[in-house]
């Protein structure tokens, strides 16, 4: 493969690349850089996270910047502050030998006056996030009317985060004649529409297969009961003592809860989500990048822009709703030629999602078993011994202390010394896993198997339980809001819901009886429209008979007698609720 020196870049740029240790371009760089140096046509470039997209668009742009022109000549838009800062830092590193080239990053969560002062001094390249850029334009502090290059980085993520209106506003302020570059990891329909709307007959470059996962990533999934997800996560961390990972959760609340539990249980973990202040986020990111932090628990939005090449694992504590999001997540490991592992901890009801992901990612997912307590102890003991063997001994400084140590250990045998040392290092984990249960979901002997459900149905029995909740129409309560309450709790999300009957002051609903305990624990004590939620099982024979006469529907039904799946229910009831 060609080197950067053969791509036509300026000597100053090549010097900077040499300082950084970059010699050979990645596939996306090899395709993009020569094209952008020679052509003024628009470009759509598809490549996975971690393949060097920043250099692919910034190096040819830097090569063409006119230092004597103080107007903003290149504008780069990214979805998050972290990504904008990373791009800005990379460009500054690439331009260290080009005197006078100025780059400014504009993003939320930082002092806007400081950013305005930098813009007024003149900037050749501006990197920004949608919200802050719109603010700057409205204040007449950022002028994009003379830009030659517009880059939309992580375009798919910007759309999924709901920045379409901001994109429209920003791009309308740019000149008609410019070169627009759209870089994305995936190519959903929305991106195709964006390219058609904002670009003129763009040339397309694809590095790797479109919308597929990184080739260096192994995909594994574990099937457990929903209530055991956190225990499974701890065991995954315990069998990987040197883990360096991001754990992805669905909501801010779930992220904070999981991180707090890990910290309380003695793991080197922290959280990254939208409720943190910018100062808190900076501290967490510094700890992660410096490897002072082993496990980062994050939401998808908060994790955008994290640029760490050495992550060993990506763990999906909750599967994302969109395939593209899973591809983004898994692409955070297996980077820079290293191998990585993407893990999904799922319930039995999510196995069909794995089948769908396999088709979209283009790889087989391996189902593995959560190790039992004995297995974990063996793995940790072997790791401890390996670390001892690799420990560097400072003979010179240790010599003066050895006589005192020998005196203290006098009378102890070799085996006694080993046992004492292991006990001191290992008692906690041995005690924890002494009688640890098997967490793996048993398909053939599940609590309520398909065969058992069928037999119950034939006997005229129901595997659903009916519950009373102290909320009704006077509280603005309806089936949709009930579903929302349930989905806010990871342990009961995606459970089967049967009949829902909403009355004036209270309501009834049915769920899979397997989740009775989790439901009561999750919903009781919640606050809804200022009222404390109280949920109780309906035990009357009349209610039980009523439940057994109704055929439960996956996804829920209602007391309004509408038939069909929950999807059809939502469509038919949208206007009423």
Residue 533 tokens, joined: 């939620």
Q: Are 339 and 312 in contact (CB under 8 A)?
A: no
C-alpha distance across the termini of the chain, in Å? 60
Its CATH architecture, for the domain 450-573, is 2-Layer Sandwich (3.30)
Distance separating alpha carbons of residues 497 and 487, to the nearest angstrom: 12
pLDDT, residue 213, reads 54
Query: Residue 261: enclosing H or E segment and its boundaries?
Result: helix 252-264
pLDDT (tens digit, 9 = 90+) per residue, 93-128?
999 999 999 999 999 878 899 999 999 999 999 999
Confidence of residue 499 (pLDDT cuts 50, 70, 90): confident
Q: Which of 493, 78, 154 is nearest to 320 (CA)?
A: 493
Side-chain-side CA neighbours of 409 within 13 Å: the count stands at 14
pLDDT, residue 37, reads 93
Q: Is pLDDT above 60 for 550?
A: no
Residue 46 tokens, joined: 């598809």
Q: Is pLDDT above 70 for 425?
A: no
Q: Which residue has the tokens 């041995």?
A: 430
Q: Is pLDDT above 90 for 215?
A: no
pLDDT, residue 568, reads 45
pLDDT, residue 559, reads 41
Q: What is the chain's mean pLDDT, rounded?
A: 82
Give me the DSSP letters along 153-179: ETHHHHHHTT-HHHHHHHHHTS-SS-E
Distance separating alpha carbons of residues 421 and 424, to the nearest angstrom: 5
pLDDT (tens digit, 9 = 90+) per residue, 255-291?
999 999 999 998 999 999 878 887 888 899 889 988 9
Helix 252-264 × helix 229-238 angle, to 10° = 50
Distance separating alpha carbons of residues 570 and 577, to the nearest angstrom: 9
pLDDT, residue 148, reads 96
pLDDT (tens digit, 9 = 90+) per residue, 504-524?
999 999 988 778 888 888 898
% of the chain at pLDDT higher than 70: 86
| CATH T-level assignment (fold) for domain 217-367 | Rossmann fold (3.40.50)
Query: Strand 313-316 vs strand 507-512: parallel, antiparallel, or unpaired?
Result: unpaired
pLDDT, residue 570, reads 45
pLDDT (tens digit, 9 = 90+) per residue, 325-358?
888 888 888 876 788 999 999 988 788 788 888 8
Domain ranges of the chain: 4-206, 217-367, 373-432, 450-573
What are the strands, taking DSSP E only, across 339-485?
A: 340-346, 366-367, 464-469
- Between 97 and 498, where is the model more confident? 97
Residue 388 tokens, joined: 């001892």
For the domain covering 4-206, report its CATH number: 3.40.50.300
Confidence of residue 300 (pLDDT cuts 50, 70, 90): confident
pLDDT (tens digit, 9 = 90+) per residue, 435-490?
888 888 876 544 444 555 555 555 555 568 899 999 999 999 999 889 888 877 76
Q: Within 10 Å of residue 544's Cβ, how many Cβ atoms?
A: 16
Q: Which residue has the tokens 């209106």?
A: 165
Plot region of 11 (φ>0 → left; ψ -120 to 50 → alpha; else → beta): alpha
pLDDT, residue 368, reads 93
- Between 304 and 531, where is the model more confident? 531
Lowest mean pLDDT among 88-102, 137-151, 481-495: 481-495
pLDDT, residue 544, reads 41
Distance separating alpha carbons of residues 254 and 258, to the nearest angstrom: 6
Backbone phi, then psi, for 410, in 5-degree steps? -60, 135
Residue 347 tokens, joined: 């319930």
Confidence of residue 208 (pLDDT cuts 50, 70, 90): low
pLDDT (tens digit, 9 = 90+) per residue, 19-56?
888 878 888 899 999 999 999 999 998 877 667 889 99
pLDDT, residue 572, reads 45
Distance separating alpha carbons of residues 338 and 340, to the nearest angstrom: 7
Confidence of residue 566 (pLDDT cuts 50, 70, 90): very low
Spell out the SS3 assignment of 100-113.
Answer: CCCEEEECCCCCHH
User: Do the domains at 4-206 and 217-367 have one common CATH topology?
Assistant: yes
Distance separating alpha carbons of residues 501 and 510, to the nearest angstrom: 9
Confidence of residue 5 (pLDDT cuts 50, 70, 90): confident
- Between 466 and 541, where is the model more confident? 466
Query: Residue 343: enclosing H or E segment and its boundaries?
Result: strand 340-346
At residue 498, the 3 state secondary structure works out as: strand
Give me the DSSP letters along 21-42: T--S--HHHHHHHHHHHH--S-
Q: Are 218 and 366 in contact (CB under 8 A)?
A: yes
Distance of CA 407 to the CA centre of its chain: 54
């Amino acid at each position: 493969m060609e080197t950067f020196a053969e791509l036509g870049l300026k000597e100053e740029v090549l010097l900077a690349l040499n300082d950084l240790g970059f010699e050979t371009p990645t596939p996306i760089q090899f395709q993009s850089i020569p094209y952008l140096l020679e052509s003024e046509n628009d470009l759509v470039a598809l490549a996975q996270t971690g393949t060097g997209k920043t250099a692919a668009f910034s190096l040819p742009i830097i090569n063409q910047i006119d230092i004597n022109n103080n107007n903003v000549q290149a504008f780069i838009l990214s979805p998050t502050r972290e990504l904008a800062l990373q791009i800005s830092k990379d460009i500054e590193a690439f331009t260290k030998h080009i005197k006078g080239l100025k780059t400014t990053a504009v993003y939320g969560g930082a002092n806007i006056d400081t950013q305005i002062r930098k813009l007024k001094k003149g900037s050749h390249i501006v990197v920004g996030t949608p919200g802050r850029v719109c603010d700057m334009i409205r204040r007449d502090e950022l002028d994009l009317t003379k830009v030659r290059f517009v880059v939309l980085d992580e375009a798919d993520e910007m759309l999924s985060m709901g920045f379409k209106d901001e994109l429209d506003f920003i791009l309308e302020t740019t000149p008609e004649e410019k070169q627009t570059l759209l870089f994305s990891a995936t190519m959903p329909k929305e991106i195709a529409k964006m390219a058609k709307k904002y670009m003129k007959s763009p040339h397309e470059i694809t590095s790797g297969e479109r919308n597929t996962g990184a080739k260096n990533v192994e995909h594994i999934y574990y099937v457990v009961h929903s209530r055991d997800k956190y225990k499974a996560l701890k065991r995954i961390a315990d069998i990987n003592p040197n883990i360096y990972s991001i754990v992805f959760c669905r909501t801010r609340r779930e992220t904070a809860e999981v991180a707090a539990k890990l910290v309380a249980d003695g793991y080197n973990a922290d959280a990254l989500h939208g409720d943190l202040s910018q100062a808190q986020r900076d501290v967490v990111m510094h700890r992660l990048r410096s490897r002072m932090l082993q496990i980062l628990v994050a939401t998808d939005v908060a994790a955008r822009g994290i640029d760490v090449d050495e992550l060993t694992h990506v763990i999906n504590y909750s599967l994302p709703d969109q395939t593209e999001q899973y591809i983004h997540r898994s692409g955070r490991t297996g980077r820079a030629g290293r191998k990585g592992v993407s893990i999904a901890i799922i319930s039995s009801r999510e196995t069909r999602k794995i089948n769908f992901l396999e088709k979209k990612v283009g790889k087989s997912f391996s189902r593995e078993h959560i190790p039992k307590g004995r297995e974990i102890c063996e793995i940790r003991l072997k790791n401890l011994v390996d670390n001892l063997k690799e420990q560097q001994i400072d003979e010179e400084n240790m010599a003066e202390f050895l006589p005192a140590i020998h005196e203290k250990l006098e009378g102890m045998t070799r085996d006694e010394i080993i046992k004492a040392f292991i006990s001191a290092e290992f008692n906690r984990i041995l005690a924890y896993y002494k009688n640890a249960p098997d967490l793996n979901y048993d398909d053939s002997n599940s609590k309520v198997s398909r065969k058992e459900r069928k037999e119950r149905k034939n006997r005229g029995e129901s595997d659903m339980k009916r519950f009373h909740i102290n909320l009704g129409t006077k509280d603005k309560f309806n089936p949709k809001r009930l579903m929302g309450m349930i989905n806010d709790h990871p342990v009961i999300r995606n459970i089967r819901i049967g009949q829902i009957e909403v009355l004036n002051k209270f309501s009834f609903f049915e769920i899979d009886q397997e989740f009775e305990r989790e439901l009561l624990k999750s919903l009781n004590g919640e606050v809804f429209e200022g009222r404390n939620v109280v949920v109780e099982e309906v035990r009357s024979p009349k209610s039980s008979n009523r439940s057994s006469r109704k055929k439960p529907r996956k996804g829920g039904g209602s007391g309004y007698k509408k038939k069909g799946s929950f999807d059809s229910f939502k469509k038919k009831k949208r206007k009423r609720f």
